[in-house]
Amino acid sequence: MGAEGRRYGHGRATRVTALIVCAGFVLAGCASMPDSGDVEQVRATRGPDSQVRVYAVPPRDGARPQEIVDGFLEAMTSDDPSYATARKYLTKRWTKKWRPESLTTVLTEAPESSAPPGREEGEELTYALSGELIATVDRHEYKSVVPTQYSGALRLVRQNTPDGKGKEWRIDAAPQGLVLGESDFLRNHLSVNKYYWVSGQNTVVADPVYIRQRQDPVTRMDPVTQTISALFEGPAHWLTPVVDSPFPEGAGLKKGVTSLTPDDQGELTVPLNEKASNVGGAVCKRIATQMLLTLRELAAPRVEQVQLQRTDGSPLCVLTADQADAYSLERLSPSPHVYFVDSDHRMAVVGTKPKNIDKTMVRGPFGDGQLEIGTVAVARSLHRAAAVSQDGKSLYAASIVSDEPLAAPLAQSAAPRAADRLSAPSWDRNDLWVADRDPANPRLLRFAGGKGPAQVVAVYGLDGARIESLRVSADGVRMALLLSKDGKSTLQIGRIERSTDAAGKTSVSVVELRAAAPRLESVTALSWAGPSRLVVVGKETGGVQQVRYIETDGSLTPAGGLPGLNKVSAVAATEDEEQLLVAVSDDGLVRLMPNANWQTMVEKGTWPVYPG
């Protein structure tokens, strides 16, 4: 398919990655230790570091209010079981009310605290918390927002010490849940794709969630158990209308299971509760397929086989990773070949060697010059393609594996200006899509099976915006839309809903648009680059153009930033994350090699695409 710095106010305890150094600290705060490597001081401006562990430190006797505030904010970033140390900064009353698992508020940087004016002789103080809000995480679901001002408060009171001989400051009211800077959030959490069955299809769709990188402080579950538990919780509300779940209501893991580890042969035994213990063999294997595809998201341990186990310990079903892989989204992007439009406006394929063009792989009217091409898209079957003429007026479909004459166009745009005519086409599993950008008659068109007649698809939530470009995911239920309005461009994800009436007529609509890149001021190009990942070309407010990866939930991937590239006009990637990223820049068609920089593939060419 085509294309912290930490601000804690006054007296913030320094993070140190060695216990011996931490022992020398007397201020409230936390110590951070790497799982391996040399002793070093850690600064959040370096971004998330999964090797760093934060160990909470309780407040010292006689700690001043600012120390209490700083220590509590730092303790929230730890993996401390049940946040027991963080709770030592709270009064008994607020300890009972605080629910750290209820919500996570994510800021661009760690929250900044501001001391109230006046002195500390009173019995009560309120510290203001501020920052830039970028997301909230409800349970496991990350919900990104357009960056906005965050404000919160910590109310401190003086209470009697346990021995009754003095007074000490403690927090008696705080925001519910956790308030973390993005660096701390990404250090503690891991993005994982859960997989659910597309309604009526043997195809899965990815549903990204965040789990703890290590043991969950509240549930005490390890990452494998967290992942399976999240799968049983079901898909995100946004995705629910287009997926089927084989899980019986109330199905889940056996009560008390907090650790799951495969044996030496890679088999993982998953004990189920009573509600899940009596499903049939076919349903059990569909559940097992979802588990195996989801567990692939974890770097370790590698699971080669799952055995679902009834509550009484007897086996329910067994499935291998190879069997599950047959349903992976990568299989819908089977070709490593990069197609593009060459300098003669013909469709061609990049050869096996850089700067080598293979013109023999594209036959028919798109390869022999019958049509001057502007943009193309290749069907996932690899047998057909669609092309928009260089002037943007007409959309054609044709075979690329046999010779045939150019057929009549599937659609035409009547817009006077080329920029207002047809967008680049895109294929899902079977169907072809294109947008007509004609201001007098803007339309989103679908062609079932890549053939006519055109079906006009309603898009709800455009609010006067125009579709400039679109990419349909391999699963066929999500569409990435590049929209323009009032001179600004935004990236939205829409859900594709299909329904068939009694007469067999299928109606299709795109609904519930949601922002996929709210932190970018503008987006100019995009492509799917994984089951729930996009690669985009855009810029932040006041920034320069950049190519980066983002998740469909709007979060930035740890490897989000990519090497710089000048004047990028198009990008191409695929659901198979092993395939190389390709772009068009001042240097021609370029590809990004692993652990290297951009490399020129073809000096003259436009519109690179993988199938889709």
Query: What is the pLDDT, as a whole number, of residue 12?
Result: 32
Give the least confident one: 39-43, 54-58, 163-167, 390-394: 39-43
Query: What is the pLDDT, as a whole number, of residue 79?
Result: 85
CA angle 191, 71, 151 (to 5 degrees): 65
Query: What is the pLDDT, as a whole number, of residue 443?
Result: 96
Query: What is the pLDDT, as a whole number, of residue 444?
Result: 98
Contact present, 511 and 495 (Cβ < 8 Å): yes
DSSP character string of 564-588: --SS--EEE--SSTTSPEEEEETTE
Give the least confident one: 13-22, 327-336, 601-610: 13-22
pLDDT at 22 over 60: no
Query: What is the pLDDT, as a whole number, of residue 559?
Result: 60
Confidence bin at 44 (pLDDT 50/70/90): very low
pLDDT at 9 over 70: no
Summarised one tens digit per residue, pLDDT across range 168-202 is: 999 999 999 999 999 999 999 999 999 999 998 88
Query: What is the pLDDT, as a whole number, of residue 315?
Result: 93
Measured distance CA(498)–CA(495) in Å, rounded? 10
Give the least confident one: 404-418, 419-433, 567-581: 567-581
Query: What is the pLDDT, as a whole number, of residue 543?
Result: 83
Confidence bin at 356 (pLDDT 50/70/90): confident
Measured distance CA(70)–CA(303) in Å, rounded? 41
DSSP character string of 113-129: EEPPSS-S-SSEEEEEE
Query: What is the pLDDT, as a whole number, of residue 558?
Result: 62
pLDDT at 473 over 90: yes
Query: Averaged over 482-492, what is the pLDDT?
Result: 93
Query: What is the pLDDT, as a whole number, of residue 48?
Result: 45
Confidence bin at 333 (pLDDT 50/70/90): low
Give the least confident one: 42-56, 289-303, 351-365, 577-591: 42-56
Which pTM does this prediction carry? 0.88
Give the least confident one: 16-30, 222-236, 365-379: 16-30
Query: Averaged over 536-553, what is the pLDDT?
Result: 88
Query: What is the pLDDT, as a whole number, of residue 396?
Result: 97
Domain boundaries along the sequence of the chain:
19-184, 215-327, 330-609
pLDDT at 35 over 50: no
Query: What is the pLDDT, as a whole number, of residue 31?
Result: 47
Contact present, 109 and 47 (Cβ < 8 Å): no
With tokens 């890149």, the residue in question is 517
Measured distance CA(392)–CA(228) in Å, rounded? 48
Measured distance CA(430)–CA(509) in Å, rounded? 16
Confidence bin at 33 (pLDDT 50/70/90): very low
Contact present, 348 and 367 (Cβ < 8 Å): yes
CB burial of 270-296 (b: ≥16 within 10 Å; e: otherwise) equals: bbbbeebbebeeebbbbbbbbbbbbbb
CATH superfamily name and code, 330-609: TolB, C-terminal domain (2.120.10.30)
What percent of the chain shows pLDDT beyond 70? 89
Give the least confident one: 137-141, 285-289, 403-407, 559-563: 559-563
Confidence bin at 435 (pLDDT 50/70/90): very high
CATH placement of domain 215-327: 3.30.300.20
Give the least confident one: 39-53, 156-170, 565-579: 39-53
Take residue 485 and report the two structure tokens written for it. 């309005």
Query: Averaged over 406-432, what is the pLDDT?
Result: 95
DSSP 3-state assignment of 325?
A: helix
pLDDT at 2 over 60: no
Query: What is the pLDDT, as a whole number, of residue 13?
Result: 35
Query: What is the pLDDT, as a whole number, of residue 267?
Result: 95
Roughly how many angstroms between the first and final C-alpha of the chain, as a whole number?
A: 4
Query: What is the pLDDT, as a whole number, of residue 506?
Result: 84
Query: What is the pLDDT, as a whole number, of residue 272?
Result: 96
Summarised one tens digit per residue, pLDDT across range 223-240 is: 999 999 999 999 999 999
Mean pLDDT across the chain: 87
Take residue 610 and report the two structure tokens written for it. 């993988």
Confidence bin at 304 (pLDDT 50/70/90): very high
What percent of the chain shows pLDDT beyond 90? 66
Query: What is the pLDDT, as a whole number, of residue 41?
Result: 32
Query: What is the pLDDT, as a whole number, of residue 20?
Result: 31
